[in-house]
Chain A
Amino acid sequence: MDLGPHAVFIIWAYVGVTAAVVALIAWIVLSGRRVEKRIAELEAQGVRRRAEKTT
């Protein structure tokens, strides 16, 4: 489609927003995974919360 004389502004606006949103999603998903991995490591080493030890 023809976006007219100001196409470059429209395209850059959408490209910028897409890049930022994708980066935001990636950051949130990856930090979630990093935390889960570390918890799994510690639990594998036998570290438990005190509340769980008694049960």
Chain B
Amino acid sequence: MTLDVAPKPNWFARIANPSQFLGWSRPLLWPLTILTAILFAAGLYFAFLDSPPDYQMGNTVRIMYIHVPNAWLSQFVYGVMAVSALGSLIWRHPMADVSMKAAAPLGAVFTALALYTGSLWGRPTWGTFWEWDGRMTSTLVLLLIYLGLIALWRAFEDQLRAGRVVAVFTLIGAINIPIVKFSVDWWQTLHQPSSVITPDGPRMPGSILTPLLVMMGAFTLLFITLQLKSMHTEIRRRRLATLERQRAAAAEGAK
């Protein structure tokens, strides 16, 4: 009788083990890239050629098709980082650290773009590029949190220790996410309240909702693709660090 001593890796190992993770997720990159490009092409077509100007805002409504997806990602990416932080602190999941580190610069860029497009939309619509209201101020704070976390990653030589510290600060910073989300309901503000997900359904016609949803899908896939690629690079960067140490140790031994 023979015993099968090498069981097939379960799903947790397939996500947790860096080499396993590289193995199954690398072939996903190209299909994801192509799908992202197709969605962007469709989204831009709808945004410029197949959607009407808004009856109040006119053509500036087209800024919404890039503003809302970036604003959504600014919060979604933080959600991904917060879940990774839990994975890192509770299960010591090695990929969770990698995911946290890869997501931070992506989140920072999407948040900066949400602020940038927001202010370009605000000028013709509200008459001002910037207003210190709840939504804008909390989004600016979110950007500063992202930048702080990136700086924290760079402050530690030992990335395992950095991961622990960053995870704690990521969870502390997560308190800002509901503030961003509900700021438009809590305070009197220039910024309009939610208009896609409401109890009464979307408060906009299909001709404007379609480009918005397609662009949100495109930006979300863009994030997933870039996140995966960054995670691959981070895994390889850690491998490189091991090799560098190996070489240094060998050089030391040869003396």
Contacts and interface: CB of A to CB of B under 8 A. Distances in A.
Given A20-B113, A39-B239, A47-B243, A13 B67 contact: yes
B230 to A, nearest CB: 6
Interface residues on A, range: 20 to 34
Interface in B43-63: 48-49, 53, 58-60, 62-63
B233 A35 contact: yes
A1 B246 CA distance: 60
Contacts of B58: 4-6
Contacts of B233: 28, 31-32, 35
B131 interface: no
Interface in B210-254: 222, 226, 229-230, 232-233, 236-237, 239-240, 242-244, 246-247, 250
Describe A's contact surface by its main secondary structure: helix
Interface residues on B, range: 35 or more
Interface stretch (B6-14, B118-126, B141-149): B118-126
Interface string A9-50: 110111011001100110011011001101100110101111
Given A17-B113, A21-B222, A47 B229 contact: no
A32 B117 CA distance: 29
Contacts of B49: 1
Given A24-B106, A39-B239, A49-B242, 10 more contacts: A6-B58, A9-B60, A9-B123, A17-B70, A17-B113, A20-B112, A25-B226, A29-B229, A38-B240, A49-B239
7 contacts: A6-B58, A9-B121, A9-B124, A28-B230, A42-B247, A49-B246, A50-B246
